[in-house]
Structure 1
């Protein structure tokens, strides 16, 4: 008699507020260590219906780690070691594209990396051979499809495309930098999209980004960017993000691991 394959938990990287997902049963929390150090926060384990999930607060709990100092390698390795093979990264972003204003939700399909100095690969040190991974499509097509279908099922208006421009931070960008990024083809700007996406790819994990626009990018409005504006957009748009995660979790959990990560 064949045994049922092990059910992999779905990983969600984002803010601690996501633990308020309706129907989420938190079953445990544990601190872990990896060969790359400690992740940003303990792993919060739970279930949405029949689907096990693991949450990781990217900036720590409380929110204290700036984007350029997040230990992305430890975060991804900790999730991988916990059995996660599909990850959704929830990112607060600035809108560059005219249709991507505050409180709008985006499932991007491409990324441009403007960061520097961040440890951005597992392939370093005393290696037996050099490894170059294919990164043509930085986000997993199946995971993106499930998120997009979840939005449609809830009649949530989203953008199912977008080029995410990842900047160094922690400062926001100048208007001239945003104009350059727009010429490069960027639709969104954020500070945490890389190296998170490429590290997941190196581990063979399925990875998708769920972006919530929290402000117009620099120079795209007639006023400076304020924390009040950002907090208002989060309050307005987070319900759509949570609803999409809830609606997509069963489908994400049914995705089979990639051959590299299995």
Structure 2
């Protein structure tokens, strides 16, 4: 482990009980998170405003708009997810949207896939501090899990252009599942260039979904992609690379707390 990561971990262990304050949760957050989970969302926002900034996972200028631009922007994705679904968050970074979904929907089983050590350390610390037993952190690239794991939903946010994201994510999507990539204003523009990859992988035509109009000043946009013929889907051959799972195998399924 590098000296930088050691210092980050020492700082986390020394004083995370007193995190810097994030902006207060807006009133609309009560309509997105179950009331009994809102305090967890507020503590996660405090993690982002504190260690997230210190470790370079969130820009300092993002702190005043943490709720609208980041937390709520991700939280509304839960409306598209079936009960009890297994969800992979590719390139989870600071836990957007993975940690947010784990807070909003305790019935979901989240696997946060992230190759960088300093980010997986952050994800593990946050998950442990918030008691998110429905979270598993995997340090590695998404393609290391091809042929090994599959999920009902594979999501991501601001990770890569759609054509590259499809190659990483679709081999992880179960036969009846879907990739749901948060894309913002770039959603429409990325679909046409990804056409050859969509055809080669055997995907159905992508769907642009916009949601959260009742919560956000600017609705969240996502590209949803399913398989054209689910009967032909099977686990892809595994790559030589492997991923190391960490975080205590937090995959317990819970009842939805609404």
Q: Normalising by the residue count of structure 2, what TM-score does the alignment of the two structures yield?
A: 0.28
Q: Greater relative contact order: 1 or 2 (C-alpha under 8 angstroms, separation 6 or more)? A: 1
**Higher relative strand content:** 1
